[in-house]
Amino acid sequence: MDLFNGLINAILRGFYAVFAWAPPIVGLAVLSVLVGIGMLWVYRKTSNQEKIRTVKRRLHALLLELRVYADEPGVTLRTQISLLAANLRYMGLALRPALWMALPVAILLIHLEGFYGRAPLPLGQEAIVTAGVSDVGGVAAPELLPPPGVEVSAPPVRILDKGEVSWRIRPAGDVSGQLRLRLGGQTVEKTIEAGGRPRFIPGKRVRPASSALWHPDEPRIDSSNVEWVDIRYPDAEVGLWGMRMNWLVWFFLISMLAAFALRKRFGVAI
């Protein structure tokens, strides 16, 4: 799992670095267009284009019939039933390519959250670091060692019923380093990003392989005492022409527009 996640992350880091000179919307827009083109290709390869075109012609004919015979209730009712059946047929034909695209797109979105979904910790403001540990009620409290430029501003707080320990930290300057968590003679590191321009910001670091699919930004924890470590980062927004929205909105909007605009060039009936 670490190898798979690391490969995808390395590819996206390289892509992200190409557009490091520009606002985040530039790289996100290019990537969204590429994804839109990729979805067109998958749709064409996995769908029955001839049947889709036939069903679309049937839908257009039924809509026209519905308009022409609007004053005849019997004909209108039969047409509406036929229209419903044709729509269900169209949805069934579109289901297969949608299933083919669902998993790759979902994996891509999970990885992109670290690039566009989080903002660095604000300087001078407190943030929360939380770890899930195996023996939260043990005598020896976990120890958090911050990198230079970050201070631990309060003692750890243990939440026994959840198996969690939390600290308050405060970054005083731009930081791109490693927090270290010591527990039971073992040390776990967690990347921390504070201040500066937008960049890749890893999310929760986890130990179980089953959780690594949803939290792929860093290698899995190699410790029997710590299940996960997380830093509560603020949400990032991507801006264009004064409009600032969550990156997912821009991603789906641009990719769908690109797919719609290029569908005829690729010979795809949607």
**Maximal C-alpha separation, the chain:** 82
* 2 pLDDT more than 80: no
* 65 pLDDT more than 90: no
- Residue 136's pLDDT is 59
- Residue 137's pLDDT is 57
Q: What is the pLDDT of residues 224-251, one digit of tens each?
A: 888 999 999 999 999 988 889 999 999 9
- Where residue 63 falls among pLDDT bands split at 50, 70, 90? confident
3-state secondary structure of 202: coil
120 near 201, Cβ under 8 Å? Answer: yes
Where exactly are the structural domains of the chain? 2-117+243-262, 127-234
Distance CA 158, CA 165 (A): 5
Pairing of strands 238-240, 164-171: unpaired
Q: What is the pLDDT of residues 76-112, one digit of tens each?
A: 888 888 889 988 998 998 899 999 999 999 999 999 9
Nearest to 39 by CA among 87, 94, 92, 91: 94
- Phi first, then psi: what are they for 209, rounded to 5°? -65, -35
- More confident: 140 or 48: 48
Q: What is the pLDDT of residues 49-59, one digit of tens each?
A: 889 889 988 88
- Residue 245's pLDDT is 93
- Phi first, then psi: what are they for 268, rounded to 5°? -110, 130
Q: What is the pLDDT of residues 119-153, one digit of tens each?
A: 999 999 999 999 998 765 565 678 899 999 999 99
Distance CA 123, CA 171 (A): 5
Average pLDDT of every residue of the chain: 90
Distance CA 127, CA 143 (A): 17
Q: What is the pLDDT of residues 170-227, one digit of tens each?
A: 999 999 999 999 887 889 999 999 998 999 999 999 998 888 889 999 999 988 888 9
**How would DSSP label each residue in 155-193?**
EEEEEGGGTEEEEEEEE-S-EEEEEEEEETTEEEEEEEE
Q: Print the SS3 string covering 36-58.
A: HHHHHHHHHHHCCHHHHHHHHHH
Distance CA 187, CA 191 (A): 13
